[in-house]
A and B are shown apart, each in its own frame.
Chain A
C-alpha cells in the first residue's frame, strides 16, 4: 500500500528526533515499517513541542476550573466569562528557537501564530502582549536580537492592526544563546459564538484557507524540541516567514464567515502545519480524515507529500464546513483574495489517510498521534531552598539611597522600556485606556463601559533561586498588577520555558514551578486556562534560568473606575500598604548595587496577597484612589520614583524610623505591597481599612516639587532621573 520512498534506517529515525524506544512504539502501532511521510508525521506529532510528552503528567495537576472559566486548556486558547454574553479568549506561546536564529521573522511569526490561536475560536484579537528575555547587553548578539525581535513583533502586530499593549523584558547572560520570545494575544468573542476544533460528523468537507503552502518551516516543531549547538545558525531555512497582510485578511474573512452558521470546526495550522491541524481536529472530533494533497494550494512546484504535511508556512487555517455552506464560504474567502480549497473529508475510520498523485502516502490511526503519543514521568530532583538573607548582612548603599536609586533605574534591568513599546502601535482600535508603562494594560471592550486588564510577569532570578516560591511569586505578581488597575483577576495563561527536561535538576525546576503555580492559582481563585511549554532551551549543555512567564487577564466592570501609576496632584500623601520586612535576597539592589545575587527570593504569603489586592481594588472601585502602583523590582523607592516620573511630580519621602536598616526598607522586595496616593484627609482612613484586614500601612511620602527628596541626602531632580531612566536603551541601541 504505502510506497516506501526511502529506506527507514536507524540514522533516519534519529534525525527525526525519535528515540529508539519511541520508534519501537511506532512500529507496534503501525504493525509495519512506516513510509518516510509517516515517519515525518510521527516525528512532529511526538515532538516535545506538539506532544508535551515530558510535561503532560505535571500539567494535569494544575487548577484549571472556576465559575469564570468557559474553556480550559486543551483547545486553541482558553476562554473566560466577562459577563453580558462577552468572553475573553487568550493564550501565550513561545517562539524562542526561531527568534534566536532569525529574530525578525521568528518573533513576527510568533505573534501571527498566537493571534490565529485566538481568532480560530471566533474572537477578534484586541490586545497583544509579550514576555522577552535577552542575553547580557555586552554580548555581541544581544543588540541585533533585541532590534530584530522588537521589529518583528511591531512589524506584524502593527500591520494587522491589533494593539500591542504590554509586556516585559529582561537581560541576563544566561539567555545569551537562548533568548525567549513569548507572545500573548487576547481576543473578544460572544460566549454563544465560540468555535472549537472538534471535527464532529462524517462525510463533511475539510477546507484549506489562507496562504499557499511552501517549503518553509519544515520541521520547525522538531527544531523547537532540540538543544542548540554551534551549528544552529544553519537551521535558518526552517524559520518561517510571516505575512501580516494576509493574516489581517484571514482574520476578517474568518470572522465574516463565523458570523454565519457555516463552520463545524476550525483550527489554525501552527507548529507541524497541516499534519497537526488534521490530527488534532480528527482526534477531538473522534473521526478520521482523508486528505488529498493534490488539492492543497502550493507556492512551489514539485512538493512531496512529506514536505506539504510538515511545512509550517504561515497564515493558513483548516476548517470543517457544513456542506451547504460551501459556496457562501468560498465567496467570502475569494472576496478577501485568499485561497479556498476542499482538500479532504471526515470519515468514520478513525484514521488519517493522505493521498498524493494517486498514491496513499500515509495511513495512521489518529489517536496514536494525540492521546497515545509518548508520555514520560521524567526523574527529577528538588533543589534545596536557599537560606534567607538578613537585611543586616547586605551593605548600605555607599553613595546614599537616592544615588543607588538612580543607578538601579538606569540599569538595563530596570530602565525604561519606552524604546521597545513605542515601536508597537498600542492605540489602534481606539480602546486602549491603560497604555504601556503601567502595572497592567487596560483595553476597553468596544462599545461598552467594561475593560480588560492584562499583564505578563515573571522574575527569573527568583525562580532560579527557588522554583516553587519564584513561580508562586510570578502568578501573584500578575494578580497584583491586575488589582492595581482595579481589575478582578480572572485567569492566567503561562509559557513555561526551561532547559533540557532529561536532566533531573531541570525537571526538578519544572516540577517546583508547577507546584508553586498550582498553590497560587488555587489560593487566588485564578485558574490557568491555556499555556505552552518550551523545553530544551539549552546551548552546548547550558540551560536558561527557569522562566515560567505568566500572562494574567482581569475584568474592570466600569472603565471610569480604574487607576494608573502616575502621580496626579501636588500635596497628596503616598500610603504604602503591606508587610515590610526588608527582604533583600535576590533583589535588584543586591544584583546592581552589591554585585551579587544570593539567598532566598522574597516569600509570598498568598493570604496577605489576597487581602491587600482585594482592599486596593475595592478602594479604586469606590473612588477612594486612582493612583496605585505595586511594589516589585527595586522595592519601595523604585516604585515611588516610577510614580513620580510618570506624573512628572516630585515626592518628599518621609524618613523611616523603624528597626530595619533603611536601605532594606527602601529597596527590599517584600511581596504583596502597593502604594496608593490620596488626599491628606483620606490617608488615615486608608490605614485604618488596611489594619482591619491585618495589613500594616503607613504614609511614606508627599507629592510635590520637581525632585525626590530624602532627609540627609541631596535632592534627586526628576529631570536628572528621567534622563538616566529613559536614556539607557536608546543609547545602547544607537551604539555599535
Chain B
C-alpha cells in the first residue's frame, strides 16, 4: 500500500500524520506538493491539519481551489479513499466532497484538548478495528470545528449512517457539555455515502503512543492497514 499526504503551504500536521502512517501501516508515504496536478499511484489520500494558505479567506477555501485538489476530487470520485483531518475536513467540505461547513467554535476560542469520541460507524475502512459504541480519547486543536449544515442534510446523514464520530462524555453520552465546539448533534466526523471519504476534526495521529498520553488514535491507522494493505 502507498499513501499520499498532501502538503499545502501552511500545512503543519503533515509530518505528524506521515509518522503515524509509516509507523503503524509500515508502508511508504509520498508527500505531494500542492502545485502538483497529478497524484502518484496511491491507495489513500490524506489531507492533513494545519492552516493551508494561512486559512485566510475561510478555512480550507483556498486549498479547495489549489491545483492538486482537482486531481484529488477526480480520484476520490473514482473511489480512492480520502482522509481529511482538521484542516483536511474543512477542505473536504469546501470542495463539496462532504456536506456542511465548519464554523468558528461557539466559545470563539481556539481549543486544544483531549475529547471523548463515540465510534458511531465501525463499518468504514478507517474504523473497522473499532467497535460500534467504543468511547475513545482523541484530541482536538482548532478554532473552526463547529459543524453546521441544514436539518434535512443532518437527518440524511443520520439516516445513511454517515456520522462516524460524535463528541461524548466519558460515559459515552452525547451531552451539550461534552460538545467542545458547538457542532450540530455533537458531530466530530462524517463520511461520504460510500464510506471511503472521511472528514474529522479530532487528530487521531496525535495519540498513537502511550508516552504521548494515549493510543486511541491507533486503531484508525490499523483499520487503514487492514483494509488497504491486503
Interface of A with B (CB < 8 Å)?
151, 154-155, 158-161, 243-246, 248-249, 336-337, 421-433, 435, 444, 559-560
- Are A428 and B13 in contact (CB-based, < 8 A)? yes
- Are B53 and A427 in contact (CB-based, < 8 A)? no
> Which of B20, B56, B109, B141 contacts A428, CB < 8 Å?
B141
In whole angstroms, how far apart are the Cα atoms of A425 and B112 in the complex? 5
Q: Given A245-B56, A432-B212, are A427 and B139 also a contact pair (CB < 8 Å)? A: yes
Q: What is the CB-to-nearest-CB distance from B34 to chain A, in angstroms, rounded to a whole number?
A: 11
- Are B55 and A159 in contact (CB-based, < 8 A)? yes
Most buried by B among A245, A248, A427, A431: A427
Instruction: Give the chain A neighbours of B110 by CB distance below 8 A.
Output: 151, 154-155, 158, 423-425
Contact digits for B104-117, partner A, Cβ 8 Å, 1 yes 0 no: 00000111110000
> Which of B19, B53, B111, B141 contacts A245, CB < 8 Å?
B53
In whole angstroms, how far apart are the Cα atoms of A245 and B9 in the complex? 8
> Which of A244, A427, A560 contacts B141, CB < 8 Å?
A427
- Within B1-58, the residues touching A (CB, 8 Å) are 9-10, 12-13, 15-16, 19-20, 49-51, 53-56
Instruction: Give the chain B neighbours of A243 by CB distance below 8 A.
Output: 54
Instruction: Give the chain B neighbours of A244 by CB distance below 8 A.
Output: 51, 54
Q: What is the CB-to-nearest-CB distance from B120 to chain A, in angstroms, rounded to a whole number?
A: 24
Instruction: Give the chain B neighbours of A248 by CB distance below 8 A.
Output: 9-10, 12, 51
B211 within 8 A of A: yes
In whole angstroms, how far apart are the Cα atoms of A249 and B11 in the complex? 10
In whole angstroms, how far apart are the Cα atoms of A578 and B112 in the complex? 36
Contact digits for B205-222, partner A, Cβ 8 Å, 1 yes 0 no: 110000111000000000
B203 within 8 A of A: yes
> Which of B9, B55, B112 contacts A424, CB < 8 Å?
B112
Instruction: Give the chain A neighbours of B212 by CB distance below 8 A.
Output: 427, 430-433
Interface of B with A (CB < 8 Å)?
9-10, 12-13, 15-16, 19-20, 49-51, 53-56, 109-113, 139, 141, 143, 203, 205-206, 211-213
> Which of A425, A429, A435 contacts B15, CB < 8 Å?
A429
Q: List 7 A-B contacts (CB under 8 A).
A: A161-B12, A243-B54, A249-B10, A337-B9, A423-B111, A427-B112, A427-B139
Instruction: Given A423-B112, A428-B13, A428-B16, output 20 extra A-B contacts at Cβ < 8 Å.
Output: A154-B110, A158-B51, A158-B143, A244-B51, A244-B54, A245-B9, A245-B51, A245-B53, A248-B9, A336-B9, A421-B112, A422-B109, A422-B112, A424-B110, A429-B15, A430-B19, A430-B205, A430-B212, A433-B213, A559-B211
Which chain B residue lies CB-closest to A562? B211
Which chain A residue lies CB-closest to B203? A427
Q: What is the CB-to-nearest-CB distance from B18 to chain A, in angstroms, rounded to a whole number?
A: 10
Which chain A residue lies CB-closest to B50? A161
- Are B9 and A249 in contact (CB-based, < 8 A)? yes
- Are B139 and A430 in contact (CB-based, < 8 A)? no
> Which of A159, A430, A444 contacts B16, CB < 8 Å?
A430
- Are A160 and B12 in contact (CB-based, < 8 A)? yes
